[in-house]
């Protein structure tokens, strides 16, 4: 009987392993320089393809066949397929929740928490509530964050501390929201389940945010707020004029949270929440739907508006530009660019992994890793380094995730430990780097450099520090049961 021997591939050199990453760094830097905050909407994807192409050429040189590399790409994309489906469902959820009044009601009651004597802490809390409801730190900072920066200036409060509070709150809400793309991406790369990942993040994100709130309270003790909150009160009035606001609008949120808390699968839970949002819009926002439909109050017109909210989102016109920006968007189509970026990133990472290039790069690092704490520390540092070098938070999640995933399994660590660590550094440190797309965006909307607000973005740097402490102490570090460990 004839047997087929395993192909004899060449061992990649350090230079070969580094070449695609160097190309990626150069092309991503050029992308950010040329396109700024728009670099994630196409240019970064091309950079990933170019770097991936260089890796493929190295693969051919090392005697890999295209079939080998194509199989690796398929396996890499399959890892993130579940997350991409959830992200599409999240787009629909955002669309119907904007239409139903669920998100506007959360924003309305969040604004009522603002107290001039507790401005910094209230700013972080409000941004946290809004980001949690919409799953976007960028949208939160560009709308509520901008308004709060204006109020801060009128009160002659510190713009640096205010910006730090906005970023802290926006990233806390984004990180803990099932609507966030990075919150979906991290468990997909790490191999955990979305809602289990979010529950596990509470142990690092919760204490970090509570400490941040305490620090903002201390900083605000001597703040002298003398200006009225006319701008925010106007936003509340516009919300009331556009929507029926009431606690009953939060029922879709309560249903979603109940399903998540009872362990229901993420994809059907999120899409069911989107459908409930559409039903709530028909029941409680009839006048708004009629206006969107051009005055047509028929059942068919209402169905079309809800259907379009699921697919393409909504465009709300309140007469206030900032509020319109906050309340418009959603739909599956709004997530297509994120899907494009994830596909490109996973393709690049899969090729690097299949060809042994990532393993070659981290071999030296893992040689110095002796404990769980040092492994988590290495992951945190690699995520931060990826944010610095690649200028993109998606890269800071995908690349370290693929680099360390097998090592976490080999050491018997639950996948949630990796996915949480990826977010603790990959997501949160991105906003602290001026040339990162996240840092550049925050600087653009808040008019404060990340280097200036970073000392006051307490949540963003406290969380990785807490994760590091947990790693070395073993506190809340989950391990796989013996029967769950892969066979050796």
Range 100-127 average pLDDT: 82
397 vs 225, higher pLDDT: 397
Cα torsion 343, 344, 346, 347: sign: positive
Cα torsion 217, 223, 224, 227: sign: negative
> How sure is the predictor about 117, in pLDDT bands with cuts at 50, 70 and 90?
confident
Q: Could you give the C-alpha distances from 265 to 7, 356, 364, in angstroms and in order?
A: 40, 34, 39
As a whole number of angstroms, the distance between CA 129 and CA 233 comes to: 17
8 Å CB contact between 363 and 372: no
Q: Which stretch, 151-160, 212-221, 344-353, 428-437, has highest mean pLDDT?
A: 212-221
Question: How many H-runs (helices) and E-runs (strands) does the chain carry?
Answer: 24, 0
Angle at 48 between CA 43 and CA 54, to 5 degrees: 130
pLDDT at 436: 79
> How sure is the predictor about 161, in pLDDT bands with cuts at 50, 70 and 90?
very high
As a whole number of angstroms, the distance between CA 468 and CA 428 comes to: 14
Residues belonging to the chain = 488
Which stretch of 114-123, 244-253, 414-423 has the lowest confidence by average pLDDT? 114-123
As a whole number of angstroms, the distance between CA 228 and CA 216 comes to: 21
Task: Report DSSP letters for 271-291, one per residue.
Answer: HHHHHHHHHHHHHH-HHHHHH
In the chain the first and final C-alpha atoms are separated, in Å, by 28
Q: pLDDT tens digit string along 225-280?
A: 544 556 667 778 888 999 999 999 989 988 887 887 676 887 898 899 999 999 99
Range 64-68 average pLDDT: 93
Q: Write out the H or E segment, with its range, that includes residue 105.
A: helix 102-111
pLDDT at 482: 64
8 Å CB contact between 4 and 336: no
pLDDT at 289: 94
Residue 78, beta-bridge partner list: none
Q: What is the 3-state secondary structure (H, E, C) of 208-245?
A: HHHHHHHHHHHHCCCCCCCCCCHHHHHHHHHHHHHCCC
> Nearest 10 degrees: CA dihedral of 191, 193, 195, 200?
-50
Range 174-180 average pLDDT: 90
As a whole number of angstroms, the distance between CA 440 and CA 444 comes to: 6
As a whole number of angstroms, the distance between CA 159 and CA 137 comes to: 18
Q: SS3 for 119?
A: helix
> Residues 6 or more apart from 27 whose CB is under 8 A from it?
46, 47, 50, 51
Range 428-432 average pLDDT: 94
Q: SS3 for 121?
A: helix
As a whole number of angstroms, the distance between CA 70 and CA 125 comes to: 46
> Residues 6 or more apart from 471 whose CB is under 8 A from it?
372, 373, 374, 375, 376, 377, 421, 477
427 vs 259, higher pLDDT: 427
pLDDT at 228: 52
Tokens describing residue 335:
């997530």
Count other Cβ atoms within 10 Å, centred on residue 451.
12
Tokens describing residue 307:
């259907």
> Residues 6 or more apart from 320 whose CB is under 8 A from it?
234, 235, 238
């Amino acid at each position: 009987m004839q047997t087929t021997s395993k192909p004899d591939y060449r061992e990649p050199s350090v230079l070969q392993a580094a070449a695609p990453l160097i190309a990626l760094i150069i092309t991503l830097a050029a992308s950010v320089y040329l396109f700024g905050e728009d670099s994630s909407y196409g240019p970064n994807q091309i950079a990933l393809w170019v770097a991936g192409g260089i890796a493929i050429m190295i693969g051919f040189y090392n005697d890999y066949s295209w079939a080998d590399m194509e199989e690796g790409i398929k396996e890499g994309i399959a890892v993130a397929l579940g997350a991409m489906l959830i992200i599409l469902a999240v787009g629909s959820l955002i669309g119907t929740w904007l239409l139903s009044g669920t998100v506007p009601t959360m924003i309305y009651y969040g604004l009522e928490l603002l107290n001039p004597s507790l401005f910094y802490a209230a700013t972080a809390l409000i941004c946290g509530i809004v980001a949690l409801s919409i799953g976007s730190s960028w949208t939160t900072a560009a709308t509520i964050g901008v308004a709060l920066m204006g109020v801060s200036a009128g009160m002659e409060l510190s713009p640096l501390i205010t910006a730090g509070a906005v970023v802290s709150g926006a990233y806390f809400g984004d990180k803990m929201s099932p609507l966030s793309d990075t919150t979906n991406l991290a468990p997909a790369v790490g191999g955990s389940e979305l809602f289990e990942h979010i529950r596990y993040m509470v142990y690092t994100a919760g204490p970090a945010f509570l400490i941040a709130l305490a620090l903002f309270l201390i900083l605000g003790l001597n703040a002298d707020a003398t200006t009225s909150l006319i701008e925010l009160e106007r936003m509340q009035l516009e919300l009331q004029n556009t929507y029926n606001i009431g606690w009953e609008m939060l029922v879709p949120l309560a249903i979603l949270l109940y399903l998540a808390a009872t362990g229901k699968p993420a994809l059907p839970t999120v899409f069911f929440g989107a459908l409930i949002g559409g039903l709530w819009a028909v029941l409680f926002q009839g006048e708004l739907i009629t206006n969107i439909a051009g005055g047509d109050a028929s059942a068919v017109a209402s169905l079309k508006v809800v259907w379009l909210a699921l697919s393409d989102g909504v465009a709300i016109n309140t007469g206030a530009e900032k509020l319109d920006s906050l309340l418009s968007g959603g739909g599956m189509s709004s997530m297509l660019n994120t899907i494009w970026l994830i596909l490109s990133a996973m393709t690049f990472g899969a090729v690097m992994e299949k060809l042994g290039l990532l393993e070659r790069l981290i071999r030296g690092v893992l040689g110095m890793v002796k404990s769980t704490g040092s492994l988590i520390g290495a992951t945190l540092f690699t995520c931060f380094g990826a944010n610095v070098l690649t200028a993109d938070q998606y890269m800071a999640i995908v690349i370290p995730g693929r680099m360390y995933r097998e090592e976490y399994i080999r050491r018997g660590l639950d996948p949630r430990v990796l996915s949480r660590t990826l977010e603790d550094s990959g997501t949160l440190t991105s906003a602290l780097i001026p040339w990162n797309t996240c840092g550049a965006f925050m600087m653009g909307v808040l008019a404060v450099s990340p280097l200036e607000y970073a000392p006051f973005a307490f949540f963003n740097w406290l969380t990785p520090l807490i994760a590091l402490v947990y790693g070395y102490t073993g506190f809340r570090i989950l391990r796989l049961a013996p029967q769950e460990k892969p066979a050796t």
